Amino acid sequence: MKQPRSYYYYNHKNKCKDCKKIICNDAIYCSSCKNKHRNIIVSEKRKELVSKANSGKNHGMYIDGRTLQIKYCKCGNLMNWDSILCWTCHLKNRIGNKSSNWKGGATEFKRLIRESHLYEKWRTQIFKRDNYTCKICNKIGGKLCVHHKIPFSSIIKIFNIKSSENALKCTLLWEPSWGITLCQKCHRKIHRN
């Protein structure tokens, strides 16, 4: 069984190396002295060696130790001396299917469905049915949203919807009984749980 803090604190003989204050854990320094030693002080000799190694013709920014190296990207934009691509090309190489988070264009597909005229019609049907009232807190008006009783991604998997055309043809997707009117606050609460 672990002893209470007071027992551990008073019977533990570990002291801070700097201020000799009693420490209640196995650390070398207390919390105030630890901040002093966090930044390791590099000796002047070491600083000189590193400075000489990266100076003059050894530095990557200069061509012959005197001339500043100006690099251009393949698109023609000026770029940093140590870069491979300019910032514009760097961002272009991480958009769409080149991104590490690419999931087959699912976001664009879902966005097309949510921006369709049928989706807008479905939302207004549910708002009118529920009389523009949140079904949880009974707040009338304000910032309302339609919550899918079955998650939208699950509906797409259930009906095997692969394109926005398939979604527009699927009549069960636009069934008003699958949605409920909620205010933004209640909608956030539901998604948190």
The pLDDT tens digits for 56-114 are 656 666 665 566 667 788 888 877 766 778 878 878 877 777 777 777 766 677 788 88
Whether residue 83 contacts residue 71, with contact meaning beta carbons closer than 8 Å, is answered with: yes
Print burial letters for 72-82: b (CB count within 10 Å at least 16), e (below 16).
Answer: ebeeeeebeee
Residue 159's pLDDT is 84
Measured CA to CA, the distance from residue 75 to residue 92 in angstroms comes to 11
Burial of 115 per CB tally in 10 Å (0-12, 13-18, 19+): exposed
Averaged pLDDT for residues 154-158 = 84
Structure tokens at 115: 């921006």
Bridge partners for 182 per DSSP: 145
Measured CA to CA, the distance from residue 26 to residue 31 in angstroms comes to 12
Residue 130's pLDDT is 93
Tell me the whole-structure pTM to 2 decimals.
Answer: 0.46
The pLDDT tens digits for 127-151 are 999 999 999 999 998 889 999 888 8
